């Protein structure tokens, strides 16, 4: 059963950047767009073992640091090869200045 979990302070994430959080042993990337929207996906690329929190965020796309494949951070869908398999995305809410994920 999924539940809302407090994973970070909203201010801990800079605009246009990502951080890694590890609730319940998971490895999840939490992104904040330049517009201040927050999204979360699994942190490990489906093409290799790169951590997407180390990648380059542009708009709603995260570029993998290894081979520059891309995913849409809103859905986890791949948007550029060599990434072809989706990553899992997680519902996010901001409450009380904290980032909550439904995991
Ligand atoms: S490991 Fe991410 S694109 Fe290859």
Structural domains for the chain: 4-102 (2.102.10.10)
Output the CA–CA distances (angstroms, integers) from residue 63 to 5, 6, 44, 83, in the order listed: 26, 26, 12, 10
- 64 Cβ inside 6 Å of ligand 1: yes
| CA 81–ligand 1 middle distance (angstroms) | 9
- 81 Cβ inside 6 Å of ligand 1: no
| CA 21–ligand 1 middle distance (angstroms) | 20
Q: State residue 54's pLDDT score.
A: 98
| CA 71–ligand 1 middle distance (angstroms) | 10
pLDDT in tens, 18-55: 999 999 999 999 999 999 999 999 999 999 999 999 99
Q: State residue 1's pLDDT score.
A: 76
Cα 31 to chain centroid, rounded: 5
């Amino acid at each position: 059963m999924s539940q809302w979990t407090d994973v970070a302070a909203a201010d801990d994430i800079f605009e246009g950047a990502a951080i890694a959080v590890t609730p319940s042993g998971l490895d999840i990337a939490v992104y904040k767009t330049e517009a201040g929207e927050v999204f979360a996906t699994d942190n490990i690329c489906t093409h290799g073992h790169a951590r997407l929190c180390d990648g380059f965020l542009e708009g709603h796309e995260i570029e993998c640091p290894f081979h520059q494949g891309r995913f849409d951070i809103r859905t986890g869908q791949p948007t550029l090869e060599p990434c072809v398999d989706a990553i899992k995305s997680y519902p996010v809410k901001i409450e009380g200045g904290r980032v909550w994920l439904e995991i």
